[in-house]
Amino acid sequence: MRRLSGLRAESEWLGRIFEPRRMSYAVKEIFLTVQGEGVRAGTVAVFLRFAGCNLWSGLERDRLTAVCKFCDTDFVGTDGDNGGKYDAIGLAQQVANLWVGRGEKWVVCTGGEPVLQLDDTLITALHSQGFKVAVETNGTLAVPDSIDWICVSPKANAGLVQTFGDELKLVFPQPENHPSDFVDMGFTHFCLQPRDDSYLGDEKKTNNSQAAFQYCLENPQWRLSVQTHKSIGVP
C-alpha cells in the first residue's frame, strides 16, 4: 500500500512537470462597438485587441524603419479598457461580459497582429461562450482553421502566408502592393481602404479617398471600405 501511494505521488509530480504551460494572452483592450470598416461594417461586435505586432514595435521612434509604417493603432502594452494578461477561459469570459442583448455574437480579434497569440485553445473558449470568431491579420502567419471569418490586410513587402479567406482588405495606396497583385487569391470579398495619413500631421496628410474611389469605379471586383468609426467618433 505504501508502494502504491509512492507511485501515485510520483505520477502526480511528473504530471505537474510535463503538464503543458497555460497560455497567457497579452491584451491591449476589449470593447463593444459597431464594426466600422470592411465587409462587416455596421455589425455589432466585441473587439479584442491583442498587444504586439511582427511588423512594427508600435513605438514612434521605430516607425521609419518598420516594415509597416502607416499603422494608425495603439497596440503597445496592456493598459487599455479591460486590458491585461488573461488565460483562455478568463479572456473568453471577459469578452462575454461585454455583450448585451440579442443577435449573433461576434468577437473580432485584432491588434497589432493577433495571430501571434490567437490559438485553438482561445478560439474554443470563445466558441463555448457562443461567439463566432473573426480575425483581422496582416497575413504573414497562418490562421487557425477554426476561425469563422478571416480578413487579411497585406502590409508593405511582408510576404503573405495566409492567401485565402473571407475578405482581403488592402490599405491604398501602398508603393509595394497593387490591388492587381491579389485578385487571383482565394478570397470571397476584396476591399480597398484609403490609407489614413493622419499620423503625419495636417501639413503632410494626403487624401487617398478619391484615388480609392476611382479605382473601385474602374475595377468593380473591389469594394470601397471607409472607416466610418472615425467619421462618427467611436472606437
Catalytic residue among 29, 37, 47, 190: 47
Q: Is 72 a catalytic residue?
A: yes
Catalytic residue among 71, 109, 191, 216: 71
* Marked catalytic residue, from 33, 43, 73, 124: 73
Instruction: Give the residue among 92, 99, 95 at the shortest CA–CA distance from 119.
Output: 92
Bridge partners of residue 108, in order along the sequence? 47, 134
73 a catalytic residue: yes
Find the catalytic residue in 29, 53, 166, 167. Answer: 53
Strand (E) positions, 14-56? 25-34, 44-50
Active-site pick, 37, 50, 68, 75: 68
Going by C-beta distance under 8 Å and a sequence separation of 6 or more, which residues neighbour residue 124? 88, 146
> Is residue 83 within 8 Å of 77, Cβ to Cβ?
yes
From 136, 167, 182, 190, active-site residue: 136
Where in the chain does DSSP place strands (E)? 25-34, 44-50, 84-86, 106-110, 132-137, 149-152, 164-172, 186-194, 222-224
Q: Annotated catalytic residue: which of 31, 87, 124, 229? A: 229
- Picking from 229, 231, 192, the residue whose alpha carbon sits closest to that of residue 45 is 229
Q: What are the helix (H) ranges across 99-176?
A: 120-128
Catalytic member of 72, 79, 81, 104:
72
Residue 229 known to be catalytic: yes
47 is annotated as an active-site residue: yes
Which residues are marked as active site? 47, 53, 68, 71-73, 136, 229
